[in-house]
Structure 1
């Protein structure tokens, strides 16, 4: 399928590794120009050899000064902006709510939802000049279910859905589409850390915790970063031109995270 996105100008936050890197690479394969940011210096350095087509910045999306510099550098490299993918997020603490360190709560929300605001507010004036403009915000299955022992993360991911639907209404008249992606259990190092933390908190084995998570997935399998990237690239192409305000689950039909 020809998605007709050659030359599309894309900014992906936390794009030096994991899901973000797969998203960036998927756009590049379709002929788009992509700028990524990350806080992982080693991951950014590795891109210079593994993905030389990507331009990059070091930026923490929770820092407004970092985000301001990021947009200056991204726009200089891309020559404009058609797509913002708000991918940056952290897992946050694993603990009962009365045991969560308030600083951990603040940091989780600062990155996972305020970071999306920090980027979106600067993107709008550039996206409105595009003929094919999109914002994609990464939420989670935790953005439609409760997630025991992960209250900061779940709260932020629910907020992402509300933020997305509101922006779709505000920005639709400007020709900017806004959607949220809600991954479930995603293969990779991050989910392994999450499963390990929850297993330790509950006093069960890693295998028991993993099996419990997948038991709530109808397809009994995790999803891959590539499957998430495929959906995002489609949404941002002209073929997704009337899809906006949606919270799209890519989760194997997850029924619960409890």
Structure 2
């Protein structure tokens, strides 16, 4: 299981960092990109053996430079985690600015496209590989006040399903991960944004997220990372085209 070549976008912060470090700790070679230059520098210091680049997943030239460097160093990749995402704006759709919509879709969907386009080429050529796309439970349910985020995360599910069909005959597996509300700084920012849009307190929103799932709890980064590691293991060799929720069984995302 170890010694594989693993690429993680948005891999210097949050869930991406947790994924990258878990693969590294398993003995895999890891390459990450992230928009946060300080976080990339910190990751490189902590994991000096890793390939760590500053890159904006929305930018074709920057992603080309990053992925080109990975290909030059490794000749390909065995696991690619198209993980980069942003929460986008919150509010009723008639209040949203088009630029904010475009930015959310560009990060969540266009970034995944650029990453998967490269992964598909190199993995098809080598006849093997795993692509993991990070969607969300917002890609499975309606999500009031978060139309750009929900729309882009539903699109990720469609992309994963389609790529699994396109690449399966060449030995490449593709799956979508749908985490629920993951504990951490990112969800704290989301709570603050949704509180402003809804008029509810952050504490009430936090409680509502928990009440909306059968297990009445939030998700940890470790929950999601464990699923990613399993999908990259021989135990999941026939798992492809699946949309896997790591969320405690979401019943509703209605505030």
Q: Give the Cα–Cα distance (whole angstroms) in 2 for the partners of residues 8 and 48 of structure 1.
A: 19
2:97 aligns with: 101
2:44 aligns with: 48
2:220 aligns with: 224
Q: Give the Cα–Cα distance (whole angstroms) in 2 for the partners of residues 131 and 228 of structure 1.
A: 27
TM-score by length of 2: 0.96
Q: Where do 5+ consecutive residues of structure 1 fail to align?
A: none
Once the two structures are TM-superposed, the CA of residue 92 in structure 1 deviates from its matched residue by 0.3
Partner of 1:169, secondary structure, is helix
Q: Which runs of 4+ in 1 moved over 6 A?
A: none
Q: Give the Cα–Cα distance (whole angstroms) in 2 for the partners of residues 26 and 91 of structure 1.
A: 24
Aligned length: 254
1:147 aligns with one of 101, 124, 143: 143
Output the aligned Cα RMSD. Answer: 1.2
- Residues 221-248 of structure 1 deviation map (CA, whole Å, 9 limit, x = unaligned): 1111111111111112222110000000
2:83 aligns with: 87
Q: Contact 1:214–1:220 at 8 Å: present in 2 too? A: yes
Q: Give the Cα–Cα distance (whole angstroms) in 2 for the partners of residues 63 and 138 of structure 1.
A: 19
Q: Where do 5+ consecutive residues of structure 2 fail to align?
A: none
> Comparing 135-144 with 218-227, which one deviates more in the overlay?
218-227
Check if 1:73 corresponds to 2:36.
no
Check if 1:192 corresponds to 2:188.
yes
Partner of 2:215, secondary structure, is coil
Partner of 1:128, secondary structure, is helix
Once the two structures are TM-superposed, the CA of residue 29 in structure 1 deviates from its matched residue by 1.4
Once the two structures are TM-superposed, the CA of residue 14 in structure 1 deviates from its matched residue by 0.2
Q: Give the Cα–Cα distance (whole angstroms) in 2 for the partners of residues 182 and 80 of structure 1.
A: 26
Q: Contact 1:57–1:73 at 8 Å: present in 2 too? A: no
